[in-house]
Amino acid sequence: MKTSGFTFKAAKALRQFNYWLIAQVAFVFLKLLRLFPADAALNFADKAARKVGPWFGRHRVAVDNLRKAFPEKAEDEIQAIASDMWGNMARLGAEYIFLDQLFDFDVDAPGKGRIEVVGAEYFDRIAGEAEPHIIFTGHLGNFELLPIAAASYDMQVTALFRPPNNPYLADYILSKRTKTMGSLLPSVRGASFALANILDKGGNVGILVDQKFSKGLRTTFFGRECETNPVLGMLARHYKCDVYPARCIRLPNNRYRLQLEEKLDLPRRTDGSVDVHATTQMLNDTVERWVREDPGQWMWFHKRWQLSNNPRKRGRFAPETAKDRNT
């Protein structure tokens, strides 16, 4: 037992040291980038990631996912998308240190800076309605710019985010996000209840919906079975609030298009309430549409289609059963 306890502590210490070492390398790299103009730094990060990304095991995961998602594409197309993905992820990391320079959107003078907004009327609508709303997005382009854009329209949004496993990088990213993005809520145990409390008070929440959720609802994404967090549909059903899709699209020359789409017409059960399972699938279908339009701007190295072995336990936000959907 003593040996086992020592081994566990040693492994934990080694993992923490590995996290610390990776973070220090990342911090040095970001500090060096800060010495250059934003455009030059972002372009360099993109080119470097395209060369280094294929060295990692996650590249094999990405390529395998791409082959299964796009069986009609040739191998050179698959590799090109994977390369674009690494460039996109590197830009996203580097953009944290230039957010104050990159976000130059002016509501009174749209179209003059790096940022263009499509769906400004929906931003205005949400900001002017004294009722709760849910805005969802996926890991496309620089999705971090969306809550900053919302603030430009006096739209208060609490964004749910998943911190990185590396605690040193998580602290750094949280500090950068807090300075520019307003209210943030870590995706940890109890987050569903915190979101419910915000909506109960008439607030707005933003949720990323394209990550694997262990023991979540069985849905499909690119025709393959996956598990998806049902919380958005459950909250929409309980609070009867509108749900809006939003995304960021990278444009040439380090420019960005932020698009807020019309609210979804959510599927309903026979009693008129929101069908959680069908709504969760609708979210997947929306994100899939976006990814198909810009496949190189999504994180293909995520194990989105990995399924858990055990069924999800039922609780306050547990998925409804087939019997529930038919009542």
207, 246 Cβ separation under 8 angstroms:
no
Percent of the chain surpassing pLDDT 70 = 83
Residue 174's pLDDT is: 64
Residue 229's pLDDT is: 92
Residue 175's pLDDT is: 66
Residue 31's pLDDT is: 80
244, 260 Cβ separation under 8 angstroms:
yes
* Domains present along the chain, CATH in parentheses: 2-96 (no CATH), 108-325 (3.40.1130)
Residue 279's pLDDT is: 98
Q: Which two tokens stand for residue 64?
A: 């395998």
Q: How far apart are CA 10 and CA 17, in angstroms?
A: 10
Residue 180's pLDDT is: 56
pLDDT of 175-233, one tens digit each? 665 555 556 666 666 677 888 888 998 999 999 999 888 889 999 999 999 999 999 99
Identify the CA nearest to 204 among candidates 249, 154, 268.
154
> Angle at the Cα of 278 (from 274 to 282), degrees rounded to 5?
105
Which amino acid is it at 118? Answer: V
CA atoms within 13 A on the CB side of 184: 21
Low-confidence stretches of the chain (pLDDT < 70) are: 1-6, 8-10, 161-165, 169-170, 172-190, 310-327
pTM for this structure? 0.85
Q: Which two tokens stand for residue 211?
A: 């990550």
Q: Is the dihedral of CA 280, 259, 265, 122 positive or negative?
A: positive
Cα–Cα distances (Å) from 307 to 1, 166, 218, 277, 302, in that order, read 33, 23, 9, 17, 13
